[in-house]
Amino acid sequence: MIELADVLAARQRIAPYIRHTPLLRLEALDQLAGFQVYVKPENLQLTGSFKLRGASNKIFSLSAEEKQRGVVAASSGNHAQGVAAAAARCGVDALIVMPEDAPAVKIAGTQSYGAKVLLHGHLNSEREDFARELAAEQGRVLVHPYEDDLVMAGQGTAALEILQDEPEITAIVASVGGGGLLCGLAAVAKSQPKALTMVGVEPTAATRYGQSRAAGKPLTIGAAATIADGTRSTHASPVNFPLIEAQVDALLDVDDEMLKAAMYAYAKLAKLVVEPSGALPLAALLSEKLGFLSGQQVCLVISGGNLDLGLYADLLAEGASISNQWDRRKHILRK
């Protein structure tokens, strides 16, 4: 289990190379939420997502011999770009395995940093297995997107920034893909003199950690059919599951329709471009599933904003339509 000291070391290592993203207030949602709403927009990070933090901490920690061997990673796109950018900064050769249906904007973003891209499969598990095979065959260092202490510690630096900008934050809500972000944030949140409440949000079609929590062990579930491509995993990580069980207070889920509404809400109220995976925490708020945080100061972490603009326009239109059908209590999102 990573500790606060690991995250502090990560901050010192990567601070010159990442962006301290702002902490924004979204007062327009306070009345609906029942608490003060803050947003940590990691979509404004240098590569468009939080993934640059963990990838940088891992790659900057490699020995000279390991850097010479090169790295390999599996990703739907955001970790890919984070690894590619960090590797380019160090002059390290990077090979990235991405899904066959990866958004073109994420493939192009990854290649723009000089990384080589291989397309393989559709699920996280498929490309992760292939990346492990390539690491063994070619002698590359595997930069796992979430089953790595250095990666998790890097992701946790976002929580340090949240508390630096607003020490009175009492809860953090984040999306759950493989669980690396949630574990990193929780390492900081639970180390405070007064521990913060940690909440994870999954797509309803991919509740691998929620189902695993109910079963008391990490499970493999069926197909994960969701627009949140960064969370299309069919299994709960056996590495991260015990960390989440120990430090995450609640695991919630929201459907794709509410994700579209949340993306629309971010565009309308905060002028932020947010991908489906990044909209999970706000979708939980709009679904009125965060009522147990009433009266608190709550930070919603936007994990990323990398998506095809044509798809984004379509999803926004659908989100607007969904929002316009809500009753007057949610009038803030009506046209």
Residue spans of alpha helices (H) in the chain: 4-14, 30-33, 51-60, 64-69, 78-90, 104-111, 124-138, 149-165, 180-189, 208-215, 241-247, 256-265, 280-286, 309-324
For 75, how many CA atoms within 13 A lie in the half-sphere containing its CB?
30
Check residues 85 and 125 and name the one with the higher pLDDT.
Answer: 85
pLDDT band of 230, cuts 50, 70, 90: confident
φ and ψ at residue 278, rounded to 5 degrees: -75, -15
**Above pLDDT 90, what percent of the chain?**
84
What whole-number distance in Å separates Cα of residue 117 and Cα of residue 189? Answer: 35
DSSP code for 143: -
Describe the strand order of the beta sheet including 116-119 as a list of residue ranges.
116-119, 94-98, 71-74, 141-142
Q: What percent of the chain has pLDDT over 70?
A: 97
164 has pLDDT over 50: yes
- The answer to which of 20-24, 156-160, 231-235 has the lowest mean pLDDT is 231-235
CA distance 330 to 151: 38
Q: What average pLDDT does the segment 33-51 reach?
A: 97
Average pLDDT over residues 103-111: 87
CB distance 157 to 301 below 8 Å: no
Confidence of residue 235 (pLDDT cuts 50, 70, 90): confident
Q: Which residue has the higher pLDDT, 128 or 30?
A: 30
State the average pLDDT over residues 278-304. 97
| pLDDT tens figures, 133-149 | 999 999 999 999 999 99
* Domains delineated in the chain: 4-49+149-333 (3.40.50.1100), 51-142 (3.40.50.1100)
Element (H, E) at 39: strand 36-41
Element (H, E) at 202: strand 197-203
Name the more confident of 263 and 104.
263
Kind of pairing, strands 36-41 and 24-25? Answer: antiparallel
Instruction: With a cut of 50, say whether residue 261 has pLDDT above it.
Output: yes
pLDDT of residue 335: 46
Nearest C-alpha neighbor of 180 from the set 279, 79, 99: 79
Q: What is the pTM of this model?
A: 0.94
Is the model's pLDDT at 301 over the cut of 90? yes
pLDDT band per the 50, 70, 90 thresholds, residue 200: very high
Please report the pLDDT score of residue 225 as a whole number.
Answer: 85
pLDDT confidence of residue 327: 58
SS3 314: helix
Reading the block at residue 102, the tokens are: 């990866």
Contact residues for 157 (Cβ-Cβ < 8 A; gap 6+): 7, 10, 11, 14, 15, 18, 53, 57, 184
Q: Residues 260-283: what's their mean pLDDT?
A: 96
Look up tokens 């993934």; give the residue. 51
Separation in Å, CA 157 to CA 51, 172, 294, 311 = 11, 13, 26, 31
Q: Find the mean pLDDT for residues 311-333.
A: 81
CA 79/CA 56 separation, integer angstroms: 10
CA distances in angstroms from 89 to 80, 83, 142, 242, 328, listed in the order given: 14, 10, 17, 34, 51
Rounded-to-integer distance, Cα 46 and Cα 30, Å: 29
For residues 152-176, give the mean pLDDT: 98
SS3 103: coil
pLDDT band at 247 (very low <50, low <70, confident <90, very high): very high
- Residues identified as active-site: 51, 303
DSSP codes of every residue in 60-78: HTS-HHHHHH-EEEE-SSH
Look over the chain and give the mean of its residue pLDDT values, rounded to a whole number: 93
Q: What is the pLDDT of residue 54?
A: 98
Bridging pattern class, strands 71-74 and 36-41: unpaired
Q: Return all residues near 146 (Cβ < 8 A) that are at least 6 apart.
A: 152, 177, 178, 179, 180, 181, 183, 237, 239, 240
